[in-house]
Chains A and B, each alone.
Chain A
Amino acid sequence: MTCIEFQDILGDMIDGETDAQHAAHLSSCSSCSELVSDLRAIASGAKLLCADSEPSPRVWANIQRTLEAEGIIRPATQPGATLFRQRRPWSSVWLATGAAVVLLALAAFFYTNHTTRNQQVAQTQPQSLGASADDMELLSHVSPAARASYADDLETVNAFIRDAEDNVAQNPNDDEARHFLVQAYQERAMVYASAMDRSMP
């Protein structure tokens, strides 16, 4: 049995109707096993919720009459038969299953978004961290027209410094790596010198 085939009988599975084939798949598939476990937990919660807030039969009857009057559903053909009384006993389970699917979809969505966002933060954080308090202070003194250009230059040299520092960390005995770092800092000093020249009255 495949996962797709198993998901076709999920409703019965939640209601407790299992056979050997289903059980075999559940024992061998952790994904479906976890799904069933989650759905059962939600379904049992939903049953409690339904029991607490089940509308009275009169409410269901009124809704049915309204739907019939508006032609949305056909009138009941059998006397005493009502649409809502024909609900299968496990309809609340299906409701719960739907809710679970929605919840899982939402969870997946938020998880994906959260992961992506974390990855984005991880990627952008060095840049934001690269702009030190000194950088921000310096930029605040530069004219607005030139600020973006200096911010860009600072970002560039800070990236240079970060890579050079990493290189030194990886090759602590490498003179070239240290020279790289010195050059990176010289570039930063140059940006500072120019920005300070510009910010002078």
Chain B
Amino acid sequence: MVTKERIGQIAVVLAACVTVWAADQAKREFKYSAGPKARLSILNAYGQISVKPSTTNQVIVIAAPYSDKVQVDGTQNDNRIALQSRLLDGATQVTGRVDYEVEVPSDTSVTLHSFDGPIHAEQLEGDVTVECDTAVVELRDLAGGHVHVNTLDGPVTLTNINNGHVEITSVGGDVTLNSVTGPFVEVTSAKGRINYSGDFGYTGNYKLTSHTGDIEAVVPAYASFDVSAKSVRGDVQNDFPLTGRQQTATPTTFERGRSFVGTAGKAASSVIIRTFSGKIRLKRR
């Protein structure tokens, strides 16, 4: 006998299938020929954006709106391509959603905006700029470009970013950097955690700052850097063997137990870690 509960379950599954089918039916494909170092921007209110490198010189965008309450507009002006989700009357966070799957020449610079995401980009050599509210942001295997992420509360994970100019600003989202190196790496978070795992590269300036969020850096023994860490109200912990400047700390500005400075290897990179009330921990991997 078919119970009411069973009927309900079937109805939910059918509704989901219809939604997926409708989204699939409404999918739109945009293709643009792009010159070297093209610029692509996608302004999406709600929904995911995924960007991967293409094997051609074309920018290919597949946009899947979830309802007729949202339209996708695409324009190209010379080497600048822009796509935008336009919310119509009555659109909500659900009906206004559009999922984007994007392929671009790897030297394309991309600007991606979505309030709730998720946002993913990989294997690019151009600049990557991300703006979001709560979106999960995952960027991996980027090289040579500027990587800028502004998020309110979404977690940000950067993995294998080489020679990048990296700037991450977060209010509440945690920021995780795995093997991120470059001449300039700066992360600021109000209350999100900042986790760095990597060797701080060579000749880079790294600055990790938070208000209340904890900051942890896990560094291999061979790393070469000069570090200055200070927490105004929180504790600091250093498990990494440092030399040099560690003994020259000025007591007035570097209170013992709340700060440490020192050098590892030949001080190839500069690392500054600051927090008001978060904890700082430097660990040897």
Contacts and interface: CB of A to CB of B under 8 A. Distances in A.
Contact of A186 (B153, B172, B188): B188
B169 interface: yes
A163 B211 contact: yes
Contact of A160 (B133, B152, B211): B211
A164 B276 CA distance: 9
A176 interface: yes
A157 B188 contact: no
Contacts of B171: 153, 156-157, 187, 190-191
A198 B211 CA distance: 26
Contact of B190 (A149, A160, A176): A160
Contacts of A152: 172
A105 to B, nearest CB: 39
B188 A187 contact: yes
A63 to B, nearest CB: 66
Contacts of B212: 159
Interface residues of B, number: 22
A64 B117 CA distance: 82
Interface in A82-124: none
A5 B133 CA distance: 67
Contacts of B209: 180, 183
A190 B169 contact: yes
A145 interface: yes
Interface in A116-152: 145-146, 149, 152
Interface in B247-266: 253
A190 B211 contact: no
Contacts of B191: 156
A104 to B, nearest CB: 40
Interface in B162-214: 169, 171-172, 188, 190-191, 209, 211-212
Given A160-B211, A163-B211, A180-B209, A191 B152 contact: yes
B93 interface: yes
Given A167-B232, A190-B169, A190-B171, A180 B274 contact: yes
A186 B169 contact: yes
B66 interface: no
A145 B172 CA distance: 18
Contacts of B276: 160, 163-164, 167, 180
Contacts of A157: 171, 190
Interface in A174-201: 174, 176, 180, 183-184, 186-187, 190-191, 194, 198
A187 B209 CA distance: 12
B71 interface: no
A156 B232 contact: no
A159 B172 contact: no
Contacts of A184: 190, 211
B172 A187 contact: no
B50 interface: no
Given A163-B276, A174-B253, A194-B152, 19 more contacts: A146-B133, A149-B133, A149-B152, A152-B172, A153-B171, A153-B172, A156-B190, A159-B211, A160-B276, A163-B211, A163-B277, A164-B276, A176-B274, A186-B188, A187-B169, A190-B152, A190-B169, A191-B152, A191-B171
Interface of B: 93, 115, 131, 133-134, 150, 152-153, 169, 171-172, 188, 190-191, 209, 211-212, 232, 253, 274, 276-277
Q: Which 10 A-B pairs have the closest CB atoms?
A: A160-B211, A156-B190, A153-B171, A160-B190, A183-B188, A163-B276, A190-B150, A153-B152, A156-B191, A187-B190
Interface of A: 145-146, 149, 152-153, 156-157, 159-160, 163-164, 167, 174, 176, 180, 183-184, 186-187, 190-191, 194, 198
